[in-house]
Amino acid sequence: MMKGPETELRGPGAGGQTETSSVRIALLGMIRLYQRYVSPIGGVDRCGFRPSCSHYGYEAISTQGPVIGLMMIGDRQTRCTIFKEPGPDYMLLPGGKLFDPVSKNLLFGK
Amino acid sequence: MSLLARRILLPSALLLLLSLPPVFSALHAEGNAILLTGDVQLRMADAFMEEGEYFRAITEYKKYLILFPDSGKADYASFGIGMAYYKGEEYRDAARTFSSMREKYPESAHALPARYHEGFSRWKLKDYEAARVTLETLAEDHPESVYAPRALAASSLVALDEDKPGVSRAGLERFVDRYPGHPGADSVKTALALLERYPDRPRKSPVLAGFLSAVLPGSGYMYAEHYGDGVTAFLINGLFIAGAATGFHQENYAVGTIVAGVGLPFYLGNIYGSANAAKKWNEGVRNEFIEKIHLTLSPLFEH
C-alpha cells in the first residue's frame, strides 16, 4: 500500500495562523491575487512541482517570514524548469509532478 | 388465474419442500462438520498471515483471543497481531501491540522476538532513541539468545541514523568482541572498516557555495554539482543585472530600480539555493554512506 507524503501538497500553508506583519500580509495577498486572476489565464496546473510555485511561495512566506520566504521563492523560481527530472532531490508523485516541499528546502534546520 | 395458481403452484411448492430435507440431510451426511477449536482458529489466522492478508489475520487472531481467552496460546495470538501490524507497515500499532504483549506475557517464548520487532517498529517510526534503547537492552539482557547479535547490529544502524557514528562503532565493536564466530561477523568487520572512513567522507561547504553565488550568480550551484540550476541562475541574474545596469546607465532610474527590485529575490535566492544545494549534496553523500553500511549488514537480518 503506497502512502502519500506527510506534507500537505496544496492549500494555504499557514494553517490558519493570523498574520501580523504588514509586509507578510502584502506578499501573501499578492500571491493570492496571482493565484485567482493571473495563473488561470495560461491554463491550470502548469507547474511541474508539488506544491506548485505559488503555493510553495505562500507557505514559505507564511512559515519562514518575508525575507527567507522571498529567498526561497527566488531559489524555487530558478529551479522550476522543464529540465527537472525525478531523482534523489525530487520524488516523483503519482500525477507525474515532482515533490519539492518547503520543509525539504530549509537551510536553517526545521 | 388465482385458481390455477392454487391448483398447480401450491402442490408443486409442497412437493419441492418435501424433497428438500433429504437433500439437506444428504449434504450434512456427506460433508465434514466443522468444530471450531482454538487450533482451527489459529490455523485460519496463520493462513491469512502467510497469504499476506495481514488485516484479516489480525481479525482472526483477535477472534481467537475473544473465543479462547484462557487458552495456552494467547501469547502466540498477541504476537501474531503485532507481526501482522508490522508486516502491514502499521508500525505504531505494531510497537503498541508488542509492548503490551511483553507486559502481559513476560515469560512467553515470544516475548523476546516481540521486543526485537518492537525495536524495529520504533526504528521505522524514526523514534530512534527508543528503538536503540529497546534493541540495546535486549542484547544486554539476553546475550545468548539468537536475537542478541542481530539486535546489537540493528542498534548500531539506528545510532548511525541518529548521526551518532561513535555509538554505532562501539556497538559493532561489541558485536565482534562478543560474537567472533557468528556467521555475520565478517559483515560487521566490513561495516566497521566503512565506518572508519565515515568522518572523512567528502563534503561541500554551504558557506562557500553561498559566497561563490554572491560573487558570480550560479557558481555556487555549480560547486554543489547542480549544474542545470547554476546555468539558469547565471542567466536569470545576468539578465536582471544587465537590465538594471542599463536602466541606471541611461539615467532611467525608475526602470533601473524596478528591475533591480524584481531581480533582488532571484539574486538572494541564488545565494540561499546554492547553500541549500551544498547542504543537500552533503546529505546525499551521508545517506549513500549509511546505505552502504546498511547493505553490508543486511545479511544479518535475513531470516
Is the ipTM above a cut-off of 0.85?
no
Q: Terminus-to-terminus CA distance in chain A, angstroms?
A: 28
In tens, the pLDDT along B126-173 reads 999 999 999 999 999 999 999 999 999 999 999 999 989 999 999 999
What are the strands of the beta sheet with A98-99, ordered from one edge?
Answer: A49-50, A98-99, A91-92
> What average pLDDT does range A58-65 have in this prediction?
94
Q: Terminus-to-terminus CA distance in chain B, angstroms?
A: 74
Distance from the B289 Cα atom to the nearest Cα atom in chain A, whole angstroms: 14
* Model pLDDT, residue A19: 57
In tens, the pLDDT along B76-134 reads 999 999 999 999 999 999 999 999 999 999 999 999 999 999 999 999 999 999 999 99
The residue to which cell 495577498 is assigned: A29
* Model pLDDT, residue A10: 46
Q: How far apart are CA B122 and CA B151, in angstroms?
A: 13
Residues 6+ apart with CB under 8 A from B6: none
* Model pLDDT, residue B299: 86
**Parallel, antiparallel, or unpaired: how do β-strands A49-50 and A98-99 relate?**
parallel
Confidence of residue A61 (pLDDT cuts 50, 70, 90): very high
Report field, pTM of the whole predicted structure over 0.90: no
B269·A83 Cβ contact <8 A: no
pLDDT over 80 (residue B224): yes
Q: What is the mean pLDDT of chain B?
A: 88
Least confident of A42-46, B20-24, B36-40, B257-261: B20-24
* Model pLDDT, residue A4: 44
Q: What is the mean pLDDT of chain A?
A: 83
Decide if B82 contacts B101 (C-beta within 8 A).
Answer: yes
Q: How far apart are CA B81 and CA B74, in angstroms?
A: 11
Distance from the B5 Cα atom to the nearest Cα atom in chain A, whole angstroms: 57
B272·A74 Cβ contact <8 A: yes
In tens, the pLDDT along A80-109 reads 998 888 988 899 998 889 999 999 999 886
A75·B273 Cβ contact <8 A: yes
B273·A81 Cβ contact <8 A: no
Confidence of residue B303 (pLDDT cuts 50, 70, 90): low
Q: Which of A1-15, A34-48, B31-45, B244-258 holds the top average pLDDT?
A: B244-258
Least confident of A59-73, B32-46, B163-177: B32-46
